[in-house]
Amino acid sequence: MTAASDDDLAIASLLTTGWLAAHHAVGEMAQWAPRTSQALSLLKWESPLLDAVRAGMELMDEQADELTAPLRLAAGAWLGHTNPRTWSESVLRTHLLCGALLDLIELTADTWPQSSRKLLHQDPSGALVKTLTEVLDHVVADEREVSRLGLFGRRLAAEATAQAQRVAANRPELAGALTNHEVGSLDELNTTTQLLADLVEKGAQRMLSLG
């Protein structure tokens, strides 16, 4: 593998943390599954998520722990503040988490360095979102559940925005890598602000598409 640049390392740390958080969310989701067969079908996603994590750690090499530590704290805070209380809430949380990873990739990956772009071959988020969308299509057939999930979804989005803003402030090199602008420049600040706004909007659109 080509030697990783600082931008590669920053992006790998973000992706790896996202995949770890998704792995945690899938495990919780399986615990809430109403049927054992559903739990088993969800747990099959743990292996590809861990494969993706390993690929990210391989790229970061011995710097993996240092690079991911502050991001894992933010992800842990988001997961801890958004504990699901029902099966449908656990599905929605994982759906929006993986959807956010997909949206981030769509919005920024065109300018990523080659080494970090190779990690996308390991990303299972798209297939997982498709599966969870099918599950949620059945859930939202219940109008009472739609209203409750709407409130929970807004809570997920608000907490995610708060954690993302904190990470952007504390990890300026990550914002620079994602925006392809000089760290601390006005262009980087403006683009980072717009990126966060776009991610929030895309998350809202995902919620609306579910009903």
Check if the beta carbon of residue 120 is closer than 8 Å to that of residue 109: yes
Query: What pLDDT shows up at residue 187?
Result: 76
Check if the beta carbon of residue 15 is closer than 8 Å to that of residue 52: yes
List the structure tokens of 21.
């958080």
Query: What pLDDT shows up at residue 171?
Result: 81
Show pLDDT as tens, one digit a residue, over the chain (211 residues). 456 798 999 999 999 999 999 999 999 999 999 999 989 988 999 999 999 999 999 999 999 999 999 899 999 999 999 999 999 999 999 999 999 999 999 999 998 988 999 999 999 999 999 989 888 887 766 677 777 888 898 899 899 988 888 888 788 888 888 887 777 678 777 888 888 888 888 888 888 777 6
List the structure tokens of 182.
């000089």
The whole-model pTM stands at 0.90
Residue type, 200: V
Query: What pLDDT shows up at residue 205?
Result: 85
List the structure tokens of 80.
């801890």
For residue 186, how many other CB atoms are within 10 A of its CB? 9
List the structure tokens of 180.
């392809």
Q: Give the single-character DSSP code of 121.
A: G
Q: Give the single-character DSSP code of 4.
A: P
Query: What pLDDT shows up at residue 141?
Result: 67
Query: What pLDDT shows up at residue 1?
Result: 46
Query: Mapping DSSP to helix (H, G, I), strand (E, B) and coil, where does residue 3 land?
Result: coil
Residue 35 CB contacts under 8 Å (≥ 6 apart), including other chains: none
